[in-house]
Structure 1
Amino acid sequence: MIPYDKSYQLEGDFNKTFHLRINPVRPRHAGVYVCQVYLDTRFTPLQTSIELIVNIAATIREIRPTGFATPRISNKPKLKLFYNETDRIQLVCDADGMPTPNVTWRKSDGTTIATVAELVLENIQREDSGTYTCVADSFVGPPAEKKVEIVVQYPPEVTVRKSDIREPEGAYVWLECYVDAKPRAEYRWIKDNRTIRADEVGITENPKSTKVPLLCFQDKIRLIIISLNPESDYGRYFCVATNLLGNSTGMIDVSGKPRKPKIISDPVGNRKHKFNLIWNHGNNERREDPRSIEVNSYEIQYYGFWMEISGNTQRLIYSNGNQEPFKETVEVTTGQYRMNYLLDDLRENITYNVSLFGRNKYGDGEVAKFQFCTSSVPQNQRNGTGSACIPGATSVYVVDDATNSSGRNVSGGNEDPEYISTTTQSTTFDIDLPEQLPVGQAKCWPADTCRVRSIATHHTAHLCLNLVLVFVFIRVLFL
């Protein structure tokens, strides 16, 4: 018997025709219905059955976390789940509908990342933060959707805007750190094992110094030094960021050491055995800069290098042996802005590496690196132009076993002296050469950037010249 329900209605002529009308159809009406006809109560009734399947649009009851990682849950203003970096996420999307809904998971950019009810993400990273959408579709009516926001938490990471600040007395200086953290970190500045308070005006008794810690936005912290006092303000500062997951520290040095000088020489030299190194102080381009730092002297360190091949032996030769540089000290005259120094006794047509830095009472300054090449053509034969190797390229010299090239000219400073052979220390490297050069020739990489000198022919030329001179002397003597 059909239970009493207003949605059921019996219709027909009730003799030969019987109808069951269900209006409106609800999920509770789903099931098997049996129609029985009794012709005689003494006999088994005639019957037939029919199954009513009610198609139901998909619905999502909830999204719930499972697994070992238990997130912190927030439902205001929307569902948020907070995980820690490297956790394993397991989320189940509970969906109902008829037919059984197909469930997919999508990220905020629309990418489908799973086609099952349970979403599993291993070893999550901060990039996995975002909104995830569960979509259930039973192909009856519109699909159902439910969103959850995943927040991946991690300890702070601090990077400094500039780790080495060099300023003179009275300068206005700011120290800046950038912080990436979730949840948001708390910040503090430390110097000399003391925390600089936000309400502190001067961490010393010197009234010239005023430090103001500032919080700029959520990811930037700044410490302002209004007027730098060398006695109290030079030193090492730490910006420390801390949250529940850990802490991170950035380090900034504030000093009066010289800044990095600016080398303005042309890297391609026009002299064979000399090079004029020209540079400016590391201050602003203006000659009179109130923010300039005093420099007492500069140190120049330099060395040349080339490849020497003798038979089957390949050696990378340094001009001073074992890459130990030559050193020169240049004193600075007060008020001098542009500096220069003539490096001499160099080898022709090779690359030299230069390190240049200033010194004052606070220590050594920042180092400027530079490469230059000496020329291969005498200056008096060049007419303003001439060939020189490319800075950084390795010159190759092939010599016989009886000859070893020198690294530094010891001729006494002549601009274009004859070839001088001395001994030098060397370091051996295994390299792949583009070609095997005949013994007695010299060649540079890349090709055609330097003059080829035949060392063996050079000695022969000396012998021939001596014979000619002897012959001329004898003729003059007998005339």
Structure 2
Amino acid sequence: MNVSAWYCLLTLLVLTPQGVPKSYQNYEYEYYYPESSDPPVFTARPQTFTVEVGQSVIIPCDYNNPGPNKLIIKKLPASGGTEKLLSVGSHKVTPDQRISITGSRLAISHTRPRDAGTFLCHFDLEPPVQLRHTLDVQYPPSVRGLVPPEQHVARGTSVTLECEAHGNPEPIIRWSRQGGKLPSGYHTSQGSRLTVENVDRKAEGTYLCTADNGIGDPASAAMTLIIEYPPEITREKAVVRTGEGDNVELVCIVHGRPPPDVVWTHDGTPLPDTMMDTQLHLPTHSHTTVDTSDSHSHSLLAHRHSLSINPVTEKDLGAYVCIAENAHGQKNEIIQMTALPEPPKITSSPNGGESRSYTLTWDSESFYPITDFIIKYRKTHLGVWQTSENMVMAGSWANVSRTVEPKAGIGRQPRSMAYTLTNLDVATDYLAVVRVRNKYGWSAESQRFHFSTKKALAVLQSTSGAQGVVLMTLLLSLVLVLLLLVP
């Protein structure tokens, strides 16, 4: 068969593959060229083309000395697939409209990830004449969570969040948390998994799995942890001091998931709902605004449950219990409402200005006027220079009790008082406690307060008992000086 016949058969196979016998539809090509002619030579070099998805690329198959042979361009399978014939000579075989043939070059517009692979420029000779190019199509990452987007987890358990990402180049996965740090204390953690051990309510929030490969924008998947736990109660005041006619609000701040039901009792008797009020409670942080739309913020939120008593009567005094309960448990806290004065807070300076007396001052909050007080004091240890015959020994308390003229007026206010202790020892350390009483009874003791009488005089007194020794020391010093001065 001559060259013209081979060419006609090739054209028939390419242009009308459905109209030829099956034995010719495998695109097996064989060319004849005179033995005296040289085979084709590719002038282009093997290259790797890297483009971002959506860009265009030209695959060059430039050659010299084609003779009667036709250039074939194929796309080889990446793994396990079948090769695709793209063009024979100047004729495009693939139906893909994004591919065009211009001379010996193949152009691909609007590249897609599936366009990546090996392109083979081929002359079907024996041996074959071939040129290989590689196309790498880079594309932005995508990511998806491998766990439910919202999980309810019991406090104390461990939970693992997981996601997977795709992209070219291979994306880097990092975890972060909306509105704060991760439970580990770090802002981010790298890897496809994030494990949180022994979760508590502070671990509640929305976690972001973010994939980034430098192409386009990073992609994120959100997963929310909702931590379920028994109620937790904080009292605004454990003791509320009040009296008849006063207006009082008792408050407990309640955390819990699910939100606990709260009831109040007074001396064991349940109180009606009409006395209660519930509001959302936000933590107070200076220079900080809490965004309640952020799920992480909800782990910091609680409910403020208040009990209003208006006006107070004597029968309202007593123990109030705030009881919170949900599916995980129950919690109680007691708020004591009393008319007794609070323990005094001593306000005087611990360093006395007098050698044998000391003025003790204190404040005590009481709804009713103070009628009496008691001061107990003792030495903390025996001083070196103490010579008083009426010493108060360390460990032995002295008591002073007085009745005072009540000052007019009622209401919660600090009641300031003072008393001067006399016949104290010079330069001596003392310990004192104070209690006060109103018409409802005695307060608890104040915190122990350390004070001392004036100590500067002690140095002078210490020399009076050894005047002879001091005088002798001075005389010896004078003699020594004179001896040094005599030649």
- The 5 Å alignment of 1:308-323 reads 319-321=392-394, 323=395
- The counterpart of 2:170, out of the listed 100, 105, 125, is 100
Matched, 1:454 2:462: yes
2:368 alignment counterpart: 292
SS of match in other structure, 1:53: strand
Q: Is the 8 A contact 1:174 1:223 kept in 2?
A: yes
- The 5 Å alignment of 1:39-118 reads 39=125, 43=126, 45-60=128-143, 62-65=144-147, 73=148, 79-108=149-178, 112-118=187-193
1:227 alignment counterpart: 311
C-alpha change, 1:279 and 1:96, in structure 2 (3 Å) is closer
Q: Could you report, residue by residue, the CA deviation over 1:136-174 in whole angstroms, capped at 9, with x for unpaired residues? A: 223333332333344444433222122122222222222
Q: Is the 8 A contact 1:86 1:123 kept in 2?
A: yes
Shift of 1:226: 0.8
- The counterpart of 1:166, out of the listed 226, 229, 241, is 241
C-alpha change, 1:59 and 1:352, in structure 2 (3 Å) is same
Q: Could you report, residue by residue, the CA deviation over 1:50-91 in whole angstroms, capped at 9, with x for unpaired residues? A: 44332222111x1123xxxxxxx5xxxxx4444344433322
Q: Paired residues, what number? A: 342
| Aligned counterparts of 2:158 and 2:251: Cα–Cα separation in 1 | 35
TM-score, length of structure 1 as denominator length: 0.60
| Aligned counterparts of 1:264 and 1:9: Cα–Cα separation in 2 | 92
C-alpha change, 1:59 and 1:334, in structure 2 (3 Å) is closer
C-alpha change, 1:264 and 1:113, in structure 2 (3 Å) is closer
Matched, 1:358 2:436: yes
- Aligned amino acid, residue 465 of structure 2: T
Shift of 1:269: 4.2
C-alpha change, 1:320 and 1:244, in structure 2 (3 Å) is farther
- Aligned amino acid, residue 221 of structure 1: H
| Identity fraction in percent | 24
Shift of 1:457: 2.2
Q: Is the 8 A contact 2:368 2:438 kept in 1?
A: no
C-alpha change, 1:121 and 1:225, in structure 2 (3 Å) is same
- The 5 Å alignment of 1:133-282 reads 133-199=208-274, 212-218=275-281, 219-230=303-314, 232-261=315-344, 268-277=351-360, 282=365
C-alpha change, 1:132 and 1:82, in structure 2 (3 Å) is same
| Aligned counterparts of 1:226 and 1:258: Cα–Cα separation in 2 | 20
SS of match in other structure, 1:145: strand
- Aligned amino acid, residue 107 of structure 1: R
| Aligned counterparts of 1:281 and 1:54: Cα–Cα separation in 2 | 80
Range with greater deviation from structure 2 (18-27 or 252-261): 18-27
| Aligned counterparts of 1:449 and 1:149: Cα–Cα separation in 2 | 72
Shift of 1:366: 3.6
Which structure: greater helix fraction? 2
1:402 alignment counterpart: none
Q: Is the 8 A contact 1:7 1:24 kept in 2?
A: no
Shift of 1:100: 1.6
Q: Is the 8 A contact 1:274 1:374 kept in 2?
A: no
Q: Is the 8 A contact 1:35 1:48 kept in 2?
A: yes
Segments of 5+ residues of structure 2 without an aligned counterpart are 1-82, 86-93, 282-302, 386-390, 409-414, 470-487
C-alpha change, 1:94 and 1:192, in structure 2 (3 Å) is same
1:6 alignment counterpart: 96
| Aligned counterparts of 1:267 and 1:6: Cα–Cα separation in 2 | 95
SS of match in other structure, 1:348: coil
Shift of 1:253: 0.9
| Aligned counterparts of 1:304 and 1:246: Cα–Cα separation in 2 | 51
| Aligned counterparts of 1:52 and 1:144: Cα–Cα separation in 2 | 25
CA RMSD of superposed structures (Å):
3.7
- Aligned amino acid, residue 224 of structure 1: S
TM-score, length of structure 2 as denominator length: 0.59
C-alpha change, 1:458 and 1:248, in structure 2 (3 Å) is farther
SS of match in other structure, 1:451: helix
